[in-house]
Amino acid sequence: MKKTRVALIGCGRVARVHAEALVALDETELVAVVDIKPDRAENFSHHYGVEAYTDYKEILELPDVDAVQIATPHHTHAEIAIAALKAGKDVLTEKPMAISVPDMEAMIQTAADTGRTLGVIFQNRYNDASQAVKQVIEAGELGVIKGIRAFITWRRTDEYYTESDWKGTWDKEGGGVLIDQAIHTIDLMQWLVGEVDYLEARYDTRAHDMIDVDDVAEAHIVFKNGTIGCLYANCNYSYDAPIFLEIHGEKGIAHIIGDKATITIGNRTLTVEQQADETTGLRYWGFSHKRQIRDYYRAVQAGKQPFIDGKAGKTAVDMVLAMYESSRRQVPIYFPYVPGAPSCKKNRGGCCGR
Ligand SMILES: NC(=O)c1ccc[n+]([C@@H]2O[C@H](COP(=O)([O-])OP(=O)(O)OC[C@H]3O[C@@H](n4cnc5c(N)ncnc54)[C@H](O)[C@@H]3O)[C@@H](O)[C@H]2O)c1
């Protein structure tokens, strides 16, 4: 099988994980790196022995680039992805795929129109722990799922925000702890349980004076199958604690704590733990970037839709944007999410116009 020739756009914090996967995998070849900061592009260029560029539009003209991987600030994902798809490149973008519903819809539509493949990174779905829990849910071993709760308590220092030109801003990051950190777990919640019926959320900024985006948030989520979801997230804690995710079924209960799943059904307990051999990234990022990148290019090469395509990548962002809107308007938000649509909990048939 011919390798897919990939250009990596964005040479910041997470980019090393992408580059390492692209050079290690049989399916891919890293052929170019791009960053608007020349020193970052040069640094990657020297390390990986590939050409450096400072304008992503230049690599879209290159016939020997088949695909691009996007690891840039959130507000740039849609513009770069749409331009790359129109230039005939396949696109794998970091989460969140974009920071507005119209941008996400435009990306999905452009992929459909051009026939190119759009994928979105949510690597934690590929974790052994997540896969094991998904399997027992799908096999019906937990019975009807009654509840799901998640706690994300991480630490983002003042310097994390002051040293970045986009973190902690509504216009560039699109939010704070919900859209950047908690989104992985929010994605797992909906992937494990199913479609959202409605949610209500509140957010605040409590521990970082230099930002006005959320550094703490909570949400009550009701899924279409009746499952009750509780979410608490902050990035004000003392360290990056392992995420906690519980799935409560009528026949059993599953916990994911960091990389480890513990599933108890009757008097049987199964534990699944993943070893740190899959990536060079930070532990709280999970160990599965390489798995998802491999799976994406296998799908591209087989002419199939990837496991997490644009539509699948959009759901968690819809939930996050709905949480922000719910908090601002102080109302529950019903799904499918339409920004600004009326909300009325008591009178769903004929809305009272709240
Ligand atoms: N999946 C994960 O676990 C995970 C972990 C960390 C970050 N991320 C995501 O990866 C993306 C990047 O995050 P980061 O922490 O590496 O950010 P970063 O700020 O460290 O790096 C972003 C880089 O993109 C460059 N850049 C900005 N605009 C550009 C443009 N138009 N063209 C080319 N380069 C451009 C910047 O100069 C910077 O070097 C974000 O979407 C973030 O949410 C995902």
Q: What is the CATH number of the domain that holds 67?
A: 3.40.50.720
- Cα of 11 to ligand 1 centre, how many Å? 7
- Cα of 347 to ligand 1 centre, how many Å? 43
Give the integer Cα–Cα distance in Å for 79 and 301. 25
Give the pLDDT score at 277.
62
Ligand 1: lining residues by beta carbon, under 6 Å = 9-15, 34-37, 40, 56, 71-74, 76, 94-95, 121, 123, 164, 180, 285
Give the pLDDT score at 170.
98
Q: Are 322 and 202 in contact (CB under 8 A)?
A: no
pLDDT (tens digit, 9 = 90+) per residue, 36-51? 999 999 999 999 999 9
Give the integer Cα–Cα distance in Å for 204 and 206. 6
- Which ligand 1 atom lies nearest to the CA of residue 79? 31
Q: Are residues 220 and 320 in the same domain?
A: yes
Give the integer Cα–Cα distance in Å for 40 and 44. 6
39: helix, strand or coil: helix
332: helix, strand or coil: coil
- 351, part of any domain: no
Alpha helices in the chain (DSSP H): 15-24, 38-48, 56-60, 77-86, 101-114, 128-138, 158-162, 183-193, 289-302, 310-329
Structural domain count of the chain: 2
- Cα of 167 to ligand 1 centre, how many Å? 10
How far CA 60 is from CA of 33, 76, 166, 294, in Å, comes to 12, 15, 24, 22
Q: Are residues 184 and 246 in the same domain?
A: yes
Give the pLDDT score at 286.
72
- 345, part of any domain: no
pTM equals 0.96
The residues of the chain scoring below 70 in pLDDT are 276-284, 344-354
- 352, part of any domain: no
- 292, part of any domain: no
- 255, part of any domain: yes
**271 DSSP β-pair partners:** 262
